[in-house]
Amino acid sequence: MSDKHKEQLSTNRAKIVANMNPDDVLNRLQSRKVMNARDVSRIRDKTQIDDQVELLLDTLMRKPDRAFAELINALVDTDQKHVAKLIGSGLLCMIYSVIILGMCQIRFLGTQPEPDFASFQMRYMAGTGVGIR
User: Does one domain contain both 86 and 110?
Assistant: no
CATH number, domain of 44, equals: 1.10.533.10
Q: At what angle do helices 66-77 and 22-31 cross, to 10 degrees?
A: 130
- Give tens-digit pLDDT for 6-41: 988 998 899 999 999 999 999 999 999 999 999 999
One domain for residues 44 and 78: yes
Residues 6+ apart with CB under 8 A from 46: 52, 55
Task: Say whether both 106 and 47 belong to one domain.
Answer: no
Same domain, yes or no: 19 and 30:
yes
Q: Say how many domains are in the chain.
A: 2
- Read off the pLDDT of residues 91-107 as tens digits, 9 standing for 90 and up: 433 344 343 333 344 45
In this structure, the strands spanning 94-100 and 103-109 are: antiparallel
Answer yes or no: do 49 and 37 share one domain: yes
C-alpha count within 13 angstroms, C-beta hemisphere, residue 107 = 17
Q: What is the pTM of this model?
A: 0.68
Residues 75 and 46 in one domain: yes
Do 73 and 103 fall into the same domain? no
One domain for residues 26 and 79: yes
Range of the domain at 113: 92-133
